[in-house]
Amino acid sequence: MMRFKGYWRKVSPNSPEFILFDESHYREAGVGYSPSIGMPVLEAYQLVNKWNMAEATRNRFRYWLQ
């Protein structure tokens, strides 16, 4: 089963950074904290979609999974 250890965040147009999911992210997603195996795919996509929808910037997609 595929899982994500973290997500990407755009800091500036040419400068993304990788951020590991921490305990608060797992809690927000409603899944058990399991950093060694990662965040389930559905919950990871739901989180980044939620964060992107909450952004009030012109550049709508600031967070993504890869």
How do residues 11-59 score in pLDDT, each as one tens digit?
A: 887 889 999 999 999 999 999 999 999 999 999 999 999 998 887 666 6
pLDDT, residue 35, reads 92
Q: Are 55 and 62 within 8 A, CB to CB?
A: yes
Domain residues for the domain of 19 are 3-64
Q: Are 4 and 65 within 8 A, CB to CB?
A: yes
pLDDT, residue 29, reads 97
Burial-class residue 16 by CB neighbours within 10 Å (0-12, 13-18, 19+): middle
- Beta strands (DSSP E) in 2-62 are 3-4, 6-12, 15-20, 39-40
pLDDT, residue 18, reads 97
- The C-alpha atoms of residue 66 and residue 31 are separated, in whole angstroms, by 20
pLDDT, residue 47, reads 96
pLDDT, residue 14, reads 84
pTM over 0.75: yes
Give me the number of domains the chain comprises. Answer: 1
